C-alpha cells in the first residue's frame, strides 16, 4: 500500500515542480507544497525535528518575537489538525509546542524529522522502490530500442528511394 502512496506522492511532487517551473506557481508556494507533502505523508515535522522551526522568524522562541506563533510549529505538524466534529482546521494546534518537553510535544505534534522519516520509509520499502526504478529503466530501454529500430527503418527506406531515383 505504501508503494502506491509513494509513487502517487512522487508524481504529485514532479507535477507540482513541472507546473511551477512553467511560471505557474511562485517559489514560496512550491516550498509550502513540498512541506505539506512531506508532513502529511511521512508524519514528520522539520528537517531534523520539530525544534528546527525555532530558526524560522515566525516560530522562533526569541523574546523579541511577540507573534502568537512564537515557540510553535506549523499546524501541518500537528497529529490532529482538525476537529472532526466540525471539520474545521485548527491552525493554532502547534502554538507553544517548543516550550514543552519532547514527551509532551509528541502527544500534540509529530516530533520526528522529515529527513529521518523519509530515509526510514525508503529503507522499509526498498524492494518496492527498486521494482519501480527497474520498471522505469526497462521501459526507457525498450523505448530507446524501438526508437533505434525506427531510425534504422527510415534510413533503409531513404536509401531505397535514393537508389530508385539513381536508376531512373
* Other C-beta atoms lying within 10 Å of the C-beta of residue 120: 13
Phi, psi of 37 (to 5 degrees): -60, -45
Q: What is the pLDDT of residue 66?
A: 86
Q: What is the pLDDT of residue 43?
A: 86
Q: How far apart are CA 21 and CA 35, in angstroms?
A: 17
Rounded to an integer, the average pLDDT of 105-133 is 88
Q: What is the pLDDT of residue 121?
A: 85
Domain ranges (residues) in the chain: 2-125, 126-168
Q: Compare 147 and 166 and report the one with higher pLDDT.
A: 147
Q: How far apart are CA 159 and CA 153, in angstroms?
A: 10
Per the CB < 8 A criterion, the answer to whether 65 and 57 are in contact is yes
Amino acid at each position: 500500500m505504501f508503494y502506491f502512496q509513494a509513487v502517487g506522492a512522487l508524481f504529485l511532487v514532479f507535477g507540482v515542480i513541472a507546473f511551477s517551473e512553467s511560471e505557474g506557481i511562485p517559489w514560496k508556494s512550491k516550498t509550502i507544497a513540498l512541506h505539506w507533502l512531506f508532513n502529511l505523508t511521512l508524519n514528520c515535522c522539520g528537517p531534523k525535528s520539530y525544534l528546527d522551526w525555532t530558526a524560522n522568524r515566525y516560530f522562533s522562541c526569541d523574546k523579541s518575537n511577540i507573534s502568537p506563533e512564537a515557540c510553535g510549529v506549523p499546524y501541518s505538524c500537528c497529529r490532529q489538525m482538525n476537529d472532526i466534529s466540525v471539520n474545521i482546521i485548527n491552525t493554532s494546534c502547534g502554538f507553544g509546542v517548543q516550550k514543552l518537553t519532547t514527551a509532551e510535544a509528541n502527544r500534540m505534534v509529530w516530533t520526528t524529522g522529515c529527513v529521518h522519516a523519509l530515509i526510514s520509509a525508503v529503507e522499509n520499502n526498498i524492494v518496492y522502490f527498486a521494482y519501480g526504478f527497474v520498471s522505469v529503466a526497462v521501459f526507457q530501454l525498450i523505448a530507446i530500442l524501438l526508437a533505434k529500430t525506427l531510425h534504422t527503418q527510415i534510413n533503409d527506406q531513404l536509401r531505397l528511394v535514393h537508389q530508385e531515383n539513381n536508376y531512373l
